[in-house]
Amino acid sequence: MLSVCGLVCNECEAFGESCGGCIQVAGRPSWAKDVGIEVCELFECAANRGFGTCGECDAVPCKRIVELKDPRITQEAHIDDLRARVDRLRSHQNRSDSEIQVHQLDEITFIGFALRTSTSAPKDVIPRFWDEFWRTGKAQVLGKALGVSCLEPLYGVCAHHDLSSGAFTYLAGARLPQGSSVPSGFDSVTLGPSLYGVVHVPMDVPQIQACWRQIHVWGGKARFEVGPDGFEAYPDENTCDVYVQIR
């Protein structure tokens, strides 16, 4: 049995004894008192919107479901479990697996080559920057500095935004190994610990650009503050994962 928020009721030790599932107990599961509530706010939200599960809502995973955490587990375990729950909910609704998920990441430093550009710049500025990255041998230079022969995954990082002008720094490069110093001659960008809205898409520039907009629209519905910083991870030549910071 699937709960409103994607938990598998049959795996709970209380199921069949003190709890018959959140629908049967009208959103008052046995664990509610452990987190200091009377009625599960996720059940209440879904019921008020006329949804059978959170999977029917286009804001899932929302800020509310992210913040309602079992106090006995770590934040990392909670986020991992949340992704599995959202996958179950979407599968139950026959929705796409390419929709937004939430990830928790520690501080990351990226190194490579940067340019200062703007949201109003021509759409081909960043693709041309990548062409230069490959054509001028910057990829090989970066790989040599990191002591690797293959730069996978590669990253495109957007940071240091000036919201009034739309200017931002774009860095093409790789992830700096933890504990390492930035080699001389390279630019770097550090993103602090954060939650991220994440979408997996094919390696297609228009689709990648659309993903940034998709995450911003979803974040507004899900009651997150979104961005402006984020990055694109390219695990291979065919796919891209877009990560945008959320709070």
pLDDT, position 97: 47
Is there a single domain that holds both residue 93 and residue 114?
Answer: no
Is there a single domain that holds both residue 120 and residue 231?
Answer: yes
Per-residue pLDDT reduced to its tens digit, 159-201? 999 999 999 999 999 999 988 999 999 999 999 999 999 999 9
**4 is a domain residue:** no
Question: Residues near 235 by Cβ (< 8 Å), separated by ≥ 6?
Answer: 152, 153, 241
Instruction: Write down the residue that tokens 């002008």 correspond to.
Output: 165
Is there a single domain that holds both residue 172 and residue 91?
Answer: no
Task: Give the other-Cβ count within 10 Å of 187's Cβ.
Answer: 16
pTM of the prediction?
0.88
Residues of the chain with pLDDT under 50: 97
Closest CA to 30 of 44, 47, 16: 16
- Containing structural domain, residue 65: 9-97
pLDDT, position 78: 94
pLDDT, position 13: 77
Q: Are 162 and 168 in contact (CB under 8 A)?
A: yes
pLDDT, position 171: 98
Is there a single domain that holds both residue 146 and residue 212?
Answer: yes
d(CA 96, CA 80): 19
Question: Diameter of the chain by CA atoms?
Answer: 67
